Chains A and B, each alone.
Chain A
Amino acid sequence: MFGWKGKILRIDLTRGNCSVEDLPDDLMRNYIGGRGAGVKIFFGEVDPRIDPLSPENKIIFSTGPLTGTGVPSGGRFVAVSKSPLTGTIANPNCGGYFGANLKFAGYDFLIIEGKSPEPVYLSIHNNQVKIKPALHLWGKWTTETENAIRAEEGGAEDAWGKNILSVAVIGPAGENLVKFACVMSDGGRALGRSGLGAVMGSKNLKGIAVKGTGEVYIADVEGFKKAVIDFLNEARENRQLEQRSLWGTWSLIARAQATGTLSALNFQRGYLESFRGYENPATTREKILVRDEGCFGCFFRCSKRTRIPDPAYPGTTKGPEHETIALLGANCGISDLYDICKANYICNELGIDTITAGATISCAMELFEKGYLTEKEIGYNLNFGNIDATLGLLKATAFRQGFGELLADGGYAVAERCGHPELFMGVKKLGMPAWHPQGRFKGSGIIGLQYATSNVGACHTRSTLTFNPGTSDAEPLAKWVKHYQDLVAVVDAGILCWIIYHGPLWEEKPRLWLQLVTGIEYTQEELLSIGERTWNLERLFNIVAGLSAKDDSLPQRMLTEVPPEGNVVELVPMLDEYYRMRGWDENGIPKSEKLNQLGLSEWKVKVS
C-alpha cells in the first residue's frame, strides 16, 4: 500500500488490551485520513451526547497518507475527540515528529478508549505495544515528564535512542481536568485547543511514547523526488515564505496592528500603542531566539525555540508565537516581551493552551474592571496588565486552587457565573484567537463569519484568513469562507501544514502530493467534496451533541458596537448566504439532498 499503512492500533485502557485492525478501503478514498477519517471513525463509534470526560469518550491520534513521507510541511498529526470545553467535535493538530514516528511504527490511527484504573503511559515500538505504570510521573510538569519517558523508552545511556523517539504528554493541568489543558509533544509542540489534555487526564493517561523503524511506500518515487526538489526551489524564490522562516509568526503582529485586528484588552480594542515595538519582528528575534525549528519534513522552520535572561526561567521553550503574544499579551494588556514569555513558559510546562488561557484571563480582567468580580474572590487586583496576577492565576488554574477552580472551566464559565456571559469573547465557549473580527478594512467581518461557523468554536485555522477581500457583500465573503473551509479540511486530512498550504498560492498542491504518494488521481472537485463531507459530518456530530444555529454567533458587542479602529460585523446576511451555499436549512441543519450528494445519507438517522 502506498502512503497509508492500512492499520489502526486500538488501545482499551479499561481492560488493558491492544489490538490491530485493518483500515477500510472506502475510508481512505472518501475521507483520506487525518482529520476527515478521524472524525468519521470517531462519530461512528462515539455517541455525541456523552460526557467528554467519561470513559465513553475516545481520543484518536490520526496521521494521513502524506505523514512521514517527506512531503514538505507534511509532518503533522491530528487528534480527534469530543471537547470538554465546548462539547463539540475536537480535532486540533500538532507538528513535530510524533505523526511520522506513529506512521513508521506501522499505524495510520491510534484509538484510545476507556479509562485506566491507575496512571499509565503508552509505549509503542513498532508492534511491541505496552501499557506501562506512570504513577511516578503523575504530577510532573511536561518537560520533566517527557525527559523521564525518553530515558525509560530510549535507554538512559543511549543518546540517539532517546532522541529518535517521539513523546506526547500532559502536565498537571491535564491531570486536574482543566478544560483547556493541552497535550505537549516533542519539546514544546502542542495539540493546543479544545482541551484534549483533560481527556487524556480523565483516562489516567499521562503520555505516549512512539518509535517506529518501518517504512512508508511512495507510489511514484522518481516523480516524487523531482516534485520535492522543484518545490524547494519554488519556495526559495518566495519572499513571503523566506520571512516566515526568519520571523516565524512574529511578523503577523505588524499586520494585525495595521489592520486593527489585534486582540487587545479582551477585544475592546484592535490596536495597542504599547505594541508598536512588536511591529519589527527582528527585535523579538534578537531578544529571545535560541534556534529555528522545523517539523518533520518542513524546512520553513517557523517554530522558534526561545529563552529569557531570568534565572527563575532557566529552560528553553517553544514560542511565544503570534497567537500567544496577542492573547496572553495584548488581550491581557501585558506588553513586555519577557513577561509574555514567562506566561508562555508556565503554560507550556503546566500543559495549558496559551490561546484559551489568554482568552480566559482577559475575560476575568474585564469582569474585574467592570466590578463584576472582586479582589477578594480572585485573590488579586486583576486589572489589565497585571503580570504577577496572570502568572499566579495560571498556576492556580492548572492545580484548580482558589479562583483557579473557576478559571479552569474556561472563560465562558467565569463570565456566566458573574451573570455576564456577553463579556466572554468566544464562539461555542472557545475563546477567540488573535485576529479581531472587527478590523478596519472593507469586509473585515469575514473573520467573524469564519469564527461563527467553525465546528470547533472560534478558530483561525479552519478557513483562510484574508485582510483584503475587496468587498463587504455577503455573497463573496460567504463563498470564500466555505471554499477554504473545505480546502483546509483536505489539507488537514493529508496531513499538510495549514500555515503553508491554506491559501490560494498552493491550492492545487495537496492534489499533486496525494497523487504522487498514493497513486490515486483525485480531481480537485473530488478533493473539495471530501472537505465538504468532513465539514458536514462534523456539523452533524455537533447537532446531535445539542448545538444549533444559535451557536453560530459572535459576542453581542461585535455585532452592535463600533470599536475605535473598526466596524461592526454584519453577521446575519453572511450567515444566511453561508447556510444557503452549504445546502443547510435556516436552522443550520444539512438538508437531505446535500447529505445524499455527499454520500452521508446513512447519517440522517443520527440527527432525527
Chain B
Amino acid sequence: MEGESVMKIKIDHNKCCGCKLCEVACSLKHTGSVNVQRSRIRVFVGEKFCLPVIAGPYTEAACNSKNIVMLEEEGISECIICRASCPAKSVFREPDVDIPLKCDFCGDPPDPQCVRWCAAEALILVEE
C-alpha cells in the first residue's frame, strides 16, 4: 500500500574506506561545485574504522550526553555517531552563514548520489 514503504540508506562501516567520494557527490548535487563542508554526508576517519554519517534534523543546543561508545574496539564520542546538525559540531552546517544542513535523499523519487558514487558499497539504498 502506498506510503507504507520507506527508502533508507543502509551504512556498512566495515566496507567504508574513507575515500569521501560520497561527500563530493553530495556537494556536487546540492551546490554544483565540490565543497565537502557543504555536504550532507560526512565520513569520520577513525583509526580502526571509517564511519559515514548522514545529516539528520537540526538541534538548537548541544546536548550533554557525551558518552563514549565502542566501535571496532575504539572508544569514540557519541557526538560522532549522532546525525544531528548541532551548534557544537564542525560539520553539517553551511560555512560562513551557519545554516544547518539535512539530507533530502536527493529529491523525489529518492536518488541519493552518495550511494551511486560509493564504489566500496558501504552505502546501499534499501526499501523497508
Contacts and interface: CB of A to CB of B under 8 A. Distances in A.
Bound together? yes
Interface string B85-125: 00011110001100000000000000001001111100000
Interface in B30-76: 31-38, 42, 44-45, 47-50, 72, 76
A294 B48 contact: no
Contacts of B91: 160, 164
A229 interface: yes
B28 A225 contact: yes
A159 B18 contact: no
B7 interface: no
6 contacts: A158-B79, A160-B79, A216-B34, A218-B34, A224-B28, A297-B20
A69 B25 CA distance: 10
A215 B34 contact: yes
A229 B33 contact: no
A160 B119 contact: no
A161 B24 CA distance: 19
Interface of A: 68-70, 72, 75, 97, 100, 104, 154-155, 157-161, 163-164, 187, 212-218, 221, 224-225, 228-229, 232, 235-236, 290-299, 301, 305, 316
Contacts of A236: 119
Contacts of B113: 225
Given A217-B33, A217-B34, 5 more contacts: A104-B37, A232-B117, A235-B119, A291-B72, A297-B24
B41 to A, nearest CB: 13
Interface residues of B, number: 41
A100 B36 CA distance: 10
Contacts of A295: 19
Contact of A229 (B77, B90, B95, B116): B116
B42 A290 contact: no
B9 interface: no
B34 A291 contact: no
A176 B49 CA distance: 34
Nearest to A158: B90
B17 interface: yes
B17 A294 contact: yes
Contacts of A161: 89-90
A305 B49 CA distance: 10
A161 B79 CA distance: 11
Interface of B: 17-21, 24-25, 27-28, 31-38, 42, 44-45, 47-50, 72, 76-77, 79-80, 88-91, 95-96, 113, 116-120
Contacts of A72: 21
Nearest to B37: A213
**8 closest A-B pairs by CB:** A70-B24, A294-B19, A215-B35, A294-B17, A301-B17, A299-B119, A213-B37, A161-B90
Nearest to A295: B19
B34 A293 contact: no
B25 to A, nearest CB: 7
A159 B33 contact: no
Contacts of B24: 69-70, 297
Contacts of B50: 291, 293
B117 A221 contact: no
A158 B35 contact: no
Contact of A305 (B37, B47, B90, B118): B47
A291 B33 contact: no
Contact of A160 (B31, B33, B44): B44
B90 A291 contact: no
A291 B46 CA distance: 10
Contacts of A187: 45, 47
A296 B20 contact: yes
Contacts of B72: 291
Given A104-B35, A164-B90, A217-B33, A291 B76 contact: no
A160 B77 CA distance: 10
B58 to A, nearest CB: 16
Contacts of B17: 291-294, 299, 301
